[in-house]
């Protein structure tokens, strides 16, 4: 299960992960510690949140809770991008296509993430690359989502 794999990755990096009630926040990273809100019900959503918090570990610094500050919003975006590129990588989209995955629900199940995370990742890639991106002998279209093999 993806969540367990990410927990092992965090442990290997010396990051402690706790599940606790933290109000409206879904996750929080500080000083080598991650808290995942214990009210989150699915492992797929927990995996998405844990990946983003790991992204904070690798890409951000300081207290960025005040999202009114532009620099904090940029750091938040970097952490999310880190998570998107690891959990919904371009290569994983190609692999999903090879396995006959044809819609967002199946893709979310295949990758172990939430459908919302899929939608956000696809939007991230669309913003970054435009409507498509070539990956080796494949073309990944982001709208509508699809993977084609070049001839």
Please measure the distance between the N-terminal and C-terminal CA atoms of the chain and give it in whole angstroms.
Answer: 35
Q: How far is CA 71 from CA 26, 63, 64, 68, 113, in A?
A: 21, 11, 8, 9, 28
- Overall average pLDDT of the 113-131 stretch: 98
Sorted by where each begins, the domain ranges of the chain are 1-87, 88-151
**Mean per-residue pLDDT, 108-133:** 98
**Taking residues 7-29, what's their average pLDDT?**
96
What is the edge-to-edge ordering of all strands in the sheet holding 33-37? 16-20, 33-37, 27-30
CA angle, 136 as apex, 132 and 139 as ends, to 5°?
25
The DSSP secondary-structure symbol of 86 reads: H
Q: How confident is the model at residue 76 (pLDDT cuts 50, 70, 90)?
A: confident
The answer for residues whose C-beta is within 8 angstroms of residue 102's C-beta and 6 or more apart is none
Q: Residue 62 has what pLDDT? A: 72
Distance, CA of 121 to CA of 128 (rounded, Å)? 10
Q: Assess contact for 133 and 125: CB atoms under 8 A.
A: yes
The Cα–Cα gap between 70 and 56 comes to 16
- The beta strand positions in 32-144, using DSSP E, are 33-37, 132-135, 138-142
Torsion angle of the four alpha carbons 145, 149, 110, 40, in this order, in degrees rounded to the nearest 10: -40
pLDDT for 140? 98
What pLDDT shows up at residue 66?
64
Q: What does the pLDDT look like over 28-68, one tens digit per residue?
A: 999 999 999 999 999 999 999 999 999 999 997 777 666 77
Give the mean pLDDT of 100-129. 97
Does domain 1-87 bear CATH number 1.10.10.2910? yes
Query: What are the angstrom distances between the C-alpha of 55 and each of 6, 50, 123?
Result: 11, 8, 18
């Amino acid at each position: 299960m993806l969540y367990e794999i990410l927990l092992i990755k965090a442990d290997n990096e010396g990051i402690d992960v706790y599940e606790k009630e933290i109000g409206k926040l879904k996750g929080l990273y500080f000083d080598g510690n991650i808290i995942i809100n214990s009210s989150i019900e699915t492992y797929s959503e927990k995996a998405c949140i844990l990946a983003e918090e790991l992204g904070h570990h690798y890409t951000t610094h300081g207290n960025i809770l005040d999202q009114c500050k532009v620099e904090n919003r940029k750091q938040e975006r970097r952490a999310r991008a880190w998570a998107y590129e690891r959990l919904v990588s371009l290569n994983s989209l190609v692999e999903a296509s090879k396995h006959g995955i044809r819609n967002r629900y199946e893709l979310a199940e295949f990758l172990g993430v939430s459908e919302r995370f899929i939608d956000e990742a696809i939007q991230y890639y669309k913003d970054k690359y435009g409507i498509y991106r070539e990956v080796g002998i494949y073309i990944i279209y982001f709208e509508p989502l699809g993977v084609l093999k070049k001839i």
